[in-house]
Chain A
Amino acid sequence: MFGFDDSLDLPVAEMAQRVRDKDNPLTASKLVETSLLRIETLDAAYGAFLRRTGDLAREQAAAVDAKAEAGEDPGPLAGVPLAVKDNLAVPGVPLTCGSKILGEYIPPTWATSVKRAVDAGACIVGKTNLDEFAMGSSTENSAFGPTRNPHGTAFVPGGSSGGSAAAVASGMAPLALGSDTGGSIRQPAALCGITGMKPTYGRVSRNGLVAFASSLDQVGPMARSCADARALLEAIEGVDPLDATTRGYDTAAQNGVDLGSLRIGRVTEFALDDVPGGEPAQAAVERVRSALFETGATDAELSLPLVQASIPVYYLVAPAEASSNLARYDGVRYGHRAEGGADLMDLYARTREEGFGEEVKRRILIGTFALSAGYADAYYKKAMATRAALRAQFDSAFAECDVIVSATTPTCAFKIGEKADDPLAMYLCDVLTVAANLAGLPAVSVPCGKTAEGLPLGIQVWGPPGRDGLVFDVAEQLEAMDGCGYEAPEVTS
């Protein structure tokens, strides 16, 4: 691809196996240099990376190669270049969250998920762009400029993990870590034509992930295939003593479900018939469903009425938690501090006025309002009650079906700037993804063809809590269908 050394385009397991095999000439250092060269060459067009970490990657690669040389196992991700969303902490590397407010902040400790990937042999090639504090669906809200979609640079890559999605889609890195609070892994994965997975809430540690909405945030893998994504998930998952919300889950793939007789849930409320521009996505859903039925799967028609409330519920719960999580950025201990504050309140106000972007301010205000005395009952508490009821509806739904299949996004990628002034239109991008966060479910988006303009579409597989392996198994079937799966973009720059 692109005339580069193509060992970086191998499936991750094979790539790592060659690095682990001391008799194979492929080394971690070679993979890292290839990745860094691709970033050097391509990223001017995409703006996927906020920071390249060449020195760190080379150091990590050298350590992997030394282990392999010494006959030790450098791990299942040996030498695989990894792009890390810039809301995950890597010690010694500036952490921005796509915001000015963090200033020159350098974290002292690892995000558990990143550390586990590195311990499995992955090498960090850079920190990727995102909507500020992961708030957005287009990566246009980054204080450091937008990222462009590798399938068409006039288009957004989706968001908020748009930098990670573009890095993987363009082949700059075979694996990336993202975070998903309302669809921030799955939606950009769909728009960039790659696989992105939001694990069951509590499967992956949030330690070192800069909090947006703590009860919804989950770190997850982004890759060119389900197998690659699963390899990254298996490296990062598991109970973490530093995150009290982590839980141990059985990683067994199928959990006893016969893939040939799966009951495939179709949620009435996810139909896109009335959505302008929703036809291609709806057609893709129908196509994969028909193909699944041919293998013996059955159709389970379901209605989850509260899914229709998921956007308003999400846009109360997430901003409420965010308004509290972002209170620490006050200019007192670290990050940006405004000059010339007359007193403490003025220092706070100026620092936050200067440091936060418009969308972040909007959500802090919404969240503060939703939690305020006199309004909390009508907004936050009502949203939480609805969330609990939505969870119960999903519990019932998963008694009727094994997985749910839907589109990941109502439409393909939109043009940069197209929705930038219309927050509500932007919020609706999440209509097919937020329910998984509200209910804590695992869900994976796999590429499933393109629109007439050549922009990718994604199909989403949802499972019950803890059945991440099942979700991957079904997604792998979809991925193998005609017209589905990863396709490298034409180089558009």
Chain B
Amino acid sequence: MSAGAVLVGMEVHLQLKTKTKCFSASPYHYGADPNTLTDPTVMGLPGALPVLNHEAVRLAVRTGLALGCRIADVTKWDRKNYFYPDLPKGYQISQYDQPLCIEGAIEIDDDEGNPKTVRITRAHLEEDTGKSTHDEGGDKSRVDLNRAGAPLLEIVSEPDIASAGEAVRYLEALREIVAYIGTSDGNMQEGNLRCEPNINLVFENGDKTPIVEVKNLNSVRNVGRAIEYEIVRQQKAYDDDNQTMENTPRSTRGWDDDREVTVHQRYKESADDYRYFPEPDLPPLEIDPAFVETERGALPELPRARRKRYCDDKGLSAYDAEVITSDPAVSHWFEAVLAGDPARDAKKVVNWMTGELLRHLNDKKIHLDEVGLTPEGLGEIVDLEAARTINTRTAKELFREVIESGASPAALVEERGLSQVSDRGPVEAAVKAAMEAQAQAVEDYRAGNEKARGRVFGAVMKELKGRGDPKLVNEVLTELLG
């Protein structure tokens, strides 16, 4: 039988980084003691009402814009009704038929490395549920409502993803975008990015396998593995049992991390009946176009565009562009160095940052914002070296000094007279003095011992206190040694 083409649509729940919850003033952060981040609204106490946190809307709009979405002029809230202990009100406030963000896209690379667009259907804002834990083998369940009411952006893609690798790159791209724009931590382990791929296969004869939604995925790697597993499982079910959409309902399967398989959970015989209706406690929300434009204007350059620009305009290799943009803080720092003088050699800056700077951060186990060195400081070092005002050795010494102190390298060079000796007069005098002092070496060299030249060169540099312009020293040395 023929192998089916893979169709994967992704549902991502992204927790937005607000200080307080989506519909109440209760604070939210990860890792607090159970049920300490609640209030009457979060707990669903009788008479407590939701009040919209406009910061959640702002972060959702910012994310939607970064994903190329259109922002709705008017949006509204709906109740999604179902019973579960971690859903304190018995309904979730969500958006049913008027999502905040409509039709966007994420650019990824396909498995051959060619650019590919994954279309985003919609992204809507909703509140998170609490968390249930069940005792292993015991009869107790516990509910923690800390997470309940935290703002979530649910981002739904079209089934444009055609492989496990594309799914992984889709998630990585999304995570990178939200890290750049600062709207979410996008951390799957902490649950602030959760994803449920919908997977099926389509065959040349038009047959389709039933769509499977996979849950319990707690890492990007497992998303890839689960898709790989489903591709094989669905192909086999089609080949062996002719299982198709016509004869088998959609289902939900859970990822079993230990056995690395997906396990059947339930069939979705018909669409779940959540009895959606407009949330009467919250008026519809009109979005001011001027606000949207302000947010659009405040978006930083996104990582994919930035990498392309570095390769096309700054002459960086794809590898260097990738390395320097992989962390938004590093990327913004790099940008700041280049911004000081657009003519600065980007490759040189990358070398400093991926070499000396990252080594220093790793040695000291500190973050970029904890070093004294400023982007302008590194820019000065690069400039001083490029102008041959200082040599590489001085540059490295300077770097080690200002990385902690944050002092201006240019000022230090000025103050201490560290600039390289690149005037012919003093260099010639130094060469002559060295030749006199190292008469034996001069003789050896002239007798054909190439190595002896190094001794003379070292003596010249010593005469110049290490600040001689090596290029000029070599020139003069060659001339005088004959």
* Residue ranges of A at the interface with B (Cβ–Cβ < 8 Å): 87-89, 95, 97, 102, 105, 107-109, 111, 206-211, 213-215, 241-245, 320-321, 323-324, 326-328, 330, 332-334, 344, 348, 368, 371-373, 376, 380
Contact = CB atoms under 8 A, between A and B. Distances in A.
Contact of B273 (A107, A209, A372): A372
Interface string B40-53: 10011111111110
27 contacts: A88-B47, A89-B46, A89-B47, A95-B46, A95-B47, A107-B47, A206-B47, A207-B48, A210-B46, A211-B281, A215-B280, A241-B51, A242-B49, A244-B49, A245-B281, A245-B282, A245-B283, A321-B280, A324-B79, A324-B277, A327-B90, A328-B89, A330-B83, A332-B143, A344-B85, A368-B275, A373-B271
Contacts of B44: 328, 333
Contacts of A371: 81, 275-277
A214 B281 contact: yes
Contact of B47 (A111, A213, A372): A111
Contacts of B277: 320-321, 324, 371, 376, 380
A273 B275 CA distance: 41
A449 to B, nearest CB: 37
B81 A207 contact: no
A328 to B, nearest CB: 4
Contacts of B79: 324
Given A107-B46, A328-B44, 9 more contacts: A95-B46, A206-B47, A207-B48, A210-B47, A215-B280, A324-B81, A327-B83, A333-B44, A372-B273
B88 interface: yes
B40 A108 contact: yes
Nearest to B82: A327
A95 B91 CA distance: 22
A373 B273 contact: yes
Interface string B278-307: 001111000000000000000000000000
Nearest to A247: B283
A244 B283 contact: yes
Contacts of B88: 328, 333
Interface string B7-46: 0000000000000000000000000000000001001111
A-B pairs, 6 with minimum CB distance: A327-B90, A215-B280, A371-B275, A214-B280, A208-B47, A210-B46
Given A244-B283, A324-B277, A371-B277, A207 B271 contact: no
Contacts of A209: 47
B52 A244 contact: yes
B49 A334 contact: no
Given A320-B277, A328-B90, A380-B277, A102 B46 contact: yes
Contacts of A97: 46
B50 A244 contact: yes
A269 B431 CA distance: 115
A270 B361 CA distance: 81
A109 B141 CA distance: 28
Interface of B: 40, 43-52, 79, 81, 83, 85, 88-91, 141, 143, 270-271, 273, 275-277, 280-283
A105 B40 CA distance: 13
Contacts of A327: 81, 83, 89-91
Contacts of A330: 83, 85, 90
Contacts of B47: 87-89, 95, 107, 111, 206-211
B48 A376 contact: no
A320 B79 CA distance: 11
A305 to B, nearest CB: 25
A332 B83 CA distance: 11
Contacts of B273: 372-373
Contacts, number: 101
Given A242-B49, A244-B50, A244-B52, A332 B85 contact: yes
A95 B271 CA distance: 38
B280 to A, nearest CB: 4
Secondary structure of the A side of the interface? loop
A207 B49 contact: yes
Contacts of A87: 47
Contacts of A88: 47
Contacts of A242: 49, 51
Contacts of A323: 81, 275
A332 B47 CA distance: 17
A105 B43 contact: no
Nearest to A205: B49
B89 to A, nearest CB: 5
B275 A328 contact: no
A243 B91 contact: no
A211 B91 CA distance: 14
Nearest to B277: A371
B49 A372 contact: no
Contacts of A109: 40, 45, 48
A97 B47 CA distance: 11
B275 A372 contact: yes
Nearest to A217: B280
A299 B70 CA distance: 53
Contacts of B141: 344
A451 B204 CA distance: 82
B83 A334 contact: no
A135 to B, nearest CB: 15
A328 B46 contact: yes
A372 B277 CA distance: 10
Given A333-B88, A373-B271, A206 B46 contact: no
A328 B271 CA distance: 23
B256 to A, nearest CB: 23
A249 to B, nearest CB: 15
A59 B91 CA distance: 39
A210 B79 CA distance: 18
Given A109-B40, A214-B280, A321-B280, A244 B51 contact: yes
B465 to A, nearest CB: 70
Contacts of B48: 109, 207-208
Contacts of A102: 46
Contacts of B270: 373
A108 B51 contact: no
Nearest to B23: A244
A109 B26 CA distance: 15
B143 to A, nearest CB: 7
Contact of A244 (B46, B90, B281): B281
Contacts of B85: 330, 332, 344
A208 B49 CA distance: 8
Nearest to B270: A373
**Residue in A88, A97, A102, A207 with the greatest tally of chain B CB atoms within 10 Å:** A207
A108 B38 CA distance: 13
A215 B275 CA distance: 17
Contacts of B281: 211, 214, 243-245
A371 to B, nearest CB: 4
Contacts of A321: 277, 280
Nearest to B79: A324
A106 B456 CA distance: 93
Nearest to A373: B273
Given A321-B280, A327-B89, A332-B85, A107 B45 contact: yes
A208 B46 CA distance: 7
B52 A333 contact: no
A105 B276 CA distance: 29
Contacts of B49: 206-207, 242-244
A326 B43 CA distance: 14
A324 B275 contact: yes
A379 to B, nearest CB: 11
Nearest to A215: B280
B75 to A, nearest CB: 14
A320 B276 CA distance: 10
A257 to B, nearest CB: 28
**Residue in A207, A321, A328 with the greatest tally of chain B CB atoms within 10 Å:** A328
A207 B39 CA distance: 14
B51 to A, nearest CB: 5
A33 to B, nearest CB: 30
